[in-house]
Amino acid sequence: MSKREAPSRARTVVLTLAALGLVVAVSVVGLGLYNVSARAGHLPGVSWVLHTTFRNSVDLRAPPQSEAPDLTDPDLIALGAGHFDVACRMCHAAPGETRAATVRTMVPEPPHITEAVESWNAGELFWIVREGVKMSGMPAWPAPSREDEVWAVVAFLTSVGDMSGESYDALTAQPETERAAVAFCATCHGSDGMSGNAQIPRLDIQNPGYLLTALQAFRNGMRASGIMQQAASLVPEATLAELADHYGAQPTGEASAEVDPALSEAGEALAEARTGDTEVPACRACHGPWPERLSPDFPALAGQHEHYLRKQLSLWKEGRRGGGPRSDLMHQAAADLTEDEIAALAAYYASLPPARLGATEAAAR
């Protein structure tokens, strides 16, 4: 064979193989020759390839452990457990519980939660929960901007290995109430809306109108929260007003906790001051304390949990919060706040005795 003939023959072989590959692909896809039955499983070696690809992909993209908050925080663990119970338990089961028979026939089979977390560190678990996994049934987080919520689930996952079924049940138990929808919400917020968990907002300080607006914003996705969007989607829309009325009618309790007096004093000065932007009023003009609050459409902040207020102000500052009647105003108000100023405002409002704009006052304004 001459040197000139060799490249020509090589091209012929390559083209022939490409044509055969195309015929095979068309046959598999167009004629349905590949058996997609979960009962048939994968061809030999395919599971190893997929899992190894999954493992290496997560390792490459997971954030460093240093980005994680305190994952031993009991409040953070409880928040994550509550979401897991309504969104993840169906596939991965709970500690001390076996997976449903139907789940065990899935391909790939969702591992029991105690097995699922064994070989992953916190950063890797964070990436998996936030991003989901293709071709596995593992969904991505519904609100990609709410990484703080993802860490709550990770806090639960990193503690689940030593958790008994009884401990899990205590974390996710629904209080006994006459109305099922209230019992569902009370898992996190309590029947009285007080919520002893600093990660979860108090509802007893809000009026029904504001609570209904918030629930509707979560349900239609206007307000980002993977936890609350999931919860609101599981409650019949017709019961949202009932829930708002229930929590809006609860008597307000005491201030949430003691705070640093110096920090609170600095926050009071900030709350009373207008910003340099004339379009943005002082904090107390919309949020109180009384009698300065202008509208029941804005949430009351007096007595709210300090940690929750700090987190929400940070979300507004970063442009990751919305869903209110004047979201544009809050974005402007929070944009130039420093971390110290956010901490001061949160301490000030958390230190105040709770007060709520009642129906009579709302009608008069």
pLDDT band at 49 (very low <50, low <70, confident <90, very high): very high
108 vs 3, higher pLDDT: 108
User: Which tokens go with 168?
Assistant: 């899990």
pLDDT band at 172 (very low <50, low <70, confident <90, very high): very high
What percent of the chain is modeled with pLDDT above 70? Answer: 92
Mean pLDDT of 143-167: 96
pLDDT of residue 6: 64
359 vs 319, higher pLDDT: 319
pLDDT in tens, 57-102: 999 999 999 999 999 999 999 999 999 999 999 999 999 999 999 9
Judge contact between 190 and 305, C-beta under 8 A. no
pLDDT in tens, 94-126: 999 999 999 999 999 999 999 999 999 999 999
Mean pLDDT of 224-242: 95
CA distances from 25 to 30, 46, 75, 279 (A): 8, 17, 53, 62
Q: Report yes or no on whether pTM surpasses 0.95.
A: no
**Topology classification of domain 56-171:** Cytochrome Bc1 Complex; Chain D, domain 2 (1.10.760)
Q: Quick one: DSSP state of residue 241?
A: H
pLDDT band at 255 (very low <50, low <70, confident <90, very high): confident
pLDDT of residue 365: 41
Distance between CA 222 and CA 87 in Å, rounded? 20
What are the beta bridge partners of residue 133? 138
Which residue spans of the chain are classified as CATH 1.10.760.10?
56-171, 172-248, 261-364
323 vs 361, higher pLDDT: 323
Task: Name the helix (H) or strand (E) containing 159.
Answer: helix 147-159
Report the length, in residues, of the chain. 365
pLDDT of residue 1: 53
> Which class does domain 172-248 fall in?
mainly alpha
> Which class does domain 261-364 fall in?
mainly alpha
Mean pLDDT of 184-203: 93
pLDDT of residue 5: 63
pLDDT in tens, 296-333: 788 999 999 999 999 999 999 999 988 777 788 899 88
The answer on pLDDT for 15 being more than 50 is yes
Mean pLDDT of 119-141: 96
